Each structure stands twice: as structure tokens, then as C-alpha cells.
Amino acid sequence: MAACVLIVDDEPAVRALATDILAEAGFDTIAAADADQALHVLTYDEKNVDVLFTDVRMPGAMSGLDLARTVKRNWPDLRVIITSGYFAGDFPGANFLRKPWSAAELISRVEQAVA
């Protein structure tokens, strides 16, 4: 069974690009436009998500960092990859991938997370 990646980005084009890249690489993918949708997927979807790939800056009450904190608290085994073109910090328990990323970088980072 292929690993499942939950892709969270408020920008439809970026979300679609990441989804297409990872699906082409053989991963199962689920896309969400914000943290609320992502938490709904994690709570109610029957698919087992292996990796959360989230942007830092998103509209709504929760940023990608808030989402990552919630995920690590409630699903401690879920791997987290954070992406941003602005954020330059570190987040415990998560990988960071700077935007703009290439298809090869994204695939490599997800492969490392599930290895």
C-alpha cells in the first residue's frame, strides 16, 4: 500500500501541483485548503494519513504551525513536513521545505519521511 500524504495549502494552484507531483510519484494524496479541512480529514476520513505536508501561512484561525502542533499532540506518529517561502524557523518533530520547492525535492522529502 502506498503512503498517504495530506497536502494543506490555501493556494489552489500550489495544492494541485503538490497533489499531482506526489500522485505521479505513487503516493496516495488528500488535499485540504486549510487547517480545519485537514483536521476533519484526520479525524473522519477512513484513509490512514502517513505524512502531513502543510504550508505555514494560511487563512483562518490556525496557521500551518498551529496545525502541526495539533497534529503532533493528537497523532504523534504522523510525520510532518512544513513548507513556506517566508518562515525560516524550526519546528520540533517536523521537516522544513522552503518554497519554491522542486518536484524532486518534494518527492525526496516525502520519501525520507516515510522511510
- Whole-Å CA distances, 93 to 44, 68, 72, 76, 85: 24, 9, 8, 9, 20
- The per-residue pLDDT for 45 is 86
Q: Note the pLDDT tens digit of each residue in 9-62.
A: 999 999 999 999 999 999 999 999 999 999 999 999 878 999 999 999 888 889
pLDDT digits (tens, 9 = 90+) for 79-92: 999 998 876 666 66
Sheet hosting strand 94-98, strand order edge to edge: 28-32, 4-8, 51-55, 79-84, 94-98
| Domains parsed from the chain with CATH numbers | 4-114 (3.40.50.2300)
What's the whole-model pTM score?
0.93
Q: How many CB atoms lie within 10 A of CB 26?
A: 10
